[in-house]
């Protein structure tokens, strides 16, 4: 799943405007940074792999999300993001 798809899903399903996505204390994307333009079409696991690497048999990440719901900043509980 691309960052754009992930952000869109959380907006549609949970009404969360994502401000940032991280995993294992590594920033995957920050929506206020200009680098987001390059990262939005990329798969989350590919961005993480470029930042921190992935184990050979790794197929999931624990994702941390900072966002806004109705003008209130929120931290979403960690979710397990599984990829192939």
> What pTM was computed for the model?
0.87
In the chain, where are the structural domains located?
A: 3-82
Q: How does pLDDT run across 19-49, given as a tens digit for each residue? A: 999 999 999 999 888 888 899 999 999 999 9
Q: Which fold has domain 3-82?
A: 3.10.290
Across 1-84, the runs of DSSP E, i.e. the strands, are 17-23, 26-30, 60-69, 72-82
Q: How far apart are CA 4 and CA 6, in angstroms?
A: 5
Give SS3 for 40: coil
Q: Across all residues in the chain, what is the average pLDDT?
A: 93
């Amino acid at each position: 799943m691309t960052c754009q798809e992930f952000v869109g899903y959380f907006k549609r399903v949970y009404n969360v405007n994502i401000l940032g996505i991280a995993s294992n204390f590594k920033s995957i994307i920050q929506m206020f940074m200009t680098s987001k333009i390059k990262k939005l079409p990329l798969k989350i696991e590919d961005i993480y792999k470029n930042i921190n690497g992935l184990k050979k048999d790794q197929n999931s990440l624990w994702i941390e999300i900072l966002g806004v719901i109705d003008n209130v900043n929120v931290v979403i509980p960690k979710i397990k993001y599984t990829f192939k």
